[in-house]
A and B are shown apart, each in its own frame.
Chain A
Amino acid sequence: MHYWPWWLGGIALASVALGHWVALERQMAVSGRFTALVNRWRFGSAEPSESAARKVSQAALVEAMRAATAAEFGKLELDEAAGTPQPPVTISAAPLRKRQTSAVHAIFLTSLVAGGLLSALLAGNVHYSLSLESERFGALFGNEGWPGPAALALGGVLVGFGTRMAAGCTSGHGLCGVSRFQKGSLVATACFFAAGVAVSFALGALG
């Protein structure tokens, strides 16, 4: 594979991430899509048809606010306030934008696979193998047996755990967050890059 020069890579990454915003009015966040799918699997279909739940919660919310007001200021003032004409209670709990469904999240993840396939097809080197086609990874963990798969599974668990804990990965924090100068993203990106450097040098010393 002949890789793109750095400037073309940078323009491509920025175009895709900005395109994500322009087309979908959302910040690109890949680990968030994993999170959405895991939540769907854990908690069942909490899909965007929430209007019924919203009606229930509106009545409950009004009652809760009434009780909290009584607790804070006493019943007297609440009754006084009730004597004056009140505007009708309208609570806007509607999100400004519909959430994407699990099917759409799955389509995004599937299209990443398709993107990799397209790249390999156009480069004319599509062959499937139970490996990473990596010299260094093979040298470290061997090309057969369980050390390789175990290393990938452990690494994957760390990636899944860490990205959910930090609430973002390379796309959400690294690209979209850093370019908006968000404090959390700057810290998270510095941390995951530093850990990547440390572990890579450690692996290099082993190999």
Chain B
Amino acid sequence: MDFELTHRFNESKQQWDIRINGEIDIYNSSKLKETLSGLIEQHKADICIYCSELEYIDSTGLGALVSILKKVKQYQKNIHLVDIKPNIYKIFKITGLNKVFIIEGVDHE
């Protein structure tokens, strides 16, 4: 299973609204990194990723997100992750990345 990514620049909020459906793993994590990297070069803005349909992310996917986070931080911007499923929140929690990204709309316990 692959992932699908839709993106739109939200003019009123001045941020990238991104929705990811499917699974991110070693097969496609480099594609995620390239896509997000391209967007941030277009508009140096916050990235807001809606994850309600994101079914799975592995360590290479996390690595891709961390490398994009480093990039956006250079422009004093941030990455928000919204509506993460509990199984994926657990992955962020055990890796300590729940403290690195801004995670919204999840039941933390």
A interacts with B: no
User: Which residues of A are at the interface with B, using a C-beta cutoff of 8 A?
Assistant: none
